[in-house]
Amino acid sequence: MSKSTKVPLKFALSAATGGDRYIIDSGLEIVFILRAIMQKNTLVSLYFDQGNNCILTLILDIDAERGKMVLECGANEKFNRQALTAGKLVFVTSQNEVKVQFVCHSIEEIQFGGRSAFSVGIPESLLRMQRREYFRITTPAGSPLKCTIPLSAGAGIAEVALLDISCGGIGIMDHHPKIDFEPGAIFENCTIVLPGIGTLNVAIRVRTTFEDTLRNGFTCKRAGCEFVAAPENMLAMIQRYIIRLERERNAKRTGLG
């Protein structure tokens, strides 16, 4: 899994950003993104020699406590030797179809699982190349998040269950008798309680509606909604909730929870 190619690659994270908001420097979120890439077995392009050479690799392991990441060696031993002596390495991959790029300045060869592998430090920052990279996570089936929506004057409120949430918006069960979730409809002053984090007060706009068939054969209506002009502090709360929920699920899968 190696090749040599000329690419117009900039060897600095800031070169392709168009704004600092594209750079992730939260250690927890960086590990979250890298683990998602590892779990999907997504290929990673390792560029060196000013982008003139490239090795295709995979993330094999992430040790957040030691700040280390293990990657598969390439098939071409010559390229592997060259990468080990490179002063700067640029890694390009994707997560949820969004390009992710980060830089490392040192790499070493280790033994992992009885074979040679690369070891690099977990980057202090990484670059997401687009704004549509919102990380969506399903809400707990046993106790899903709820969105409270004020109705017209004197009609009270409605409460709907959330299927998922991201920094871009929410997916909801569209079966409330008092609300018509038509695409384009906007609902102001909605509230969502994030356990252990805080309460969001947001406006949502319905983007899509569709029917889904459940395992029991019944159909239900779903709606995808986006947040309208969400402030940065609210987005930070959602990110903390997603990272916390993912860590709890990972702990349960590994028997640590």
- Mean pLDDT value across residues 194-214: 85
Give the span between the Cα atoms of 183 and 27, in whole angstroms: 37
pLDDT of residue 134: 60
Measure the CA angle with vertex 21, ends 15 and 24; round to 5°. Answer: 85
Asked if pLDDT for residue 228 goes beyond 60, the answer is: yes
| CA-wise closest residue to 108 among 96, 98, 121, 95 | 121
Phi, psi of 186 (to 5 degrees): -120, 135
Asked if pLDDT for residue 253 goes beyond 80, the answer is: no
Q: Which amino acid makes up residue 25?
A: D
pTM over 0.95: no
pLDDT of residue 87: 84
pLDDT of residue 2: 37
The topology (CATH level 3) of 137-253 is: Thrombin, subunit H (2.40.10)
The residue that leads in pLDDT, 10 or 130, is: 130
- All CATH 2.40.10.220 domain ranges of the chain, comma separated, are 137-253
- All CATH 2.30.110.10 domain ranges of the chain, comma separated, are 2-128
Handedness of CA 117, 61, 121, 41 (dihedral sign): positive
* Class (C level, CATH) for 2-128: mainly beta
- Mean pLDDT value across residues 37-48: 91
Q: What percent of the chain has pLDDT over 90?
A: 33
Asked if pLDDT for residue 167 goes beyond 50, the answer is: yes
The tens digit of pLDDT for each residue in 43-87 reads 998 988 877 788 899 999 999 999 999 999 988 899 999 999 998
Contact 46, 89 (CB under 8 A): yes
Mutual orientation of helices 27-39 and 232-253 as an angle, nearest 10°?
A: 50
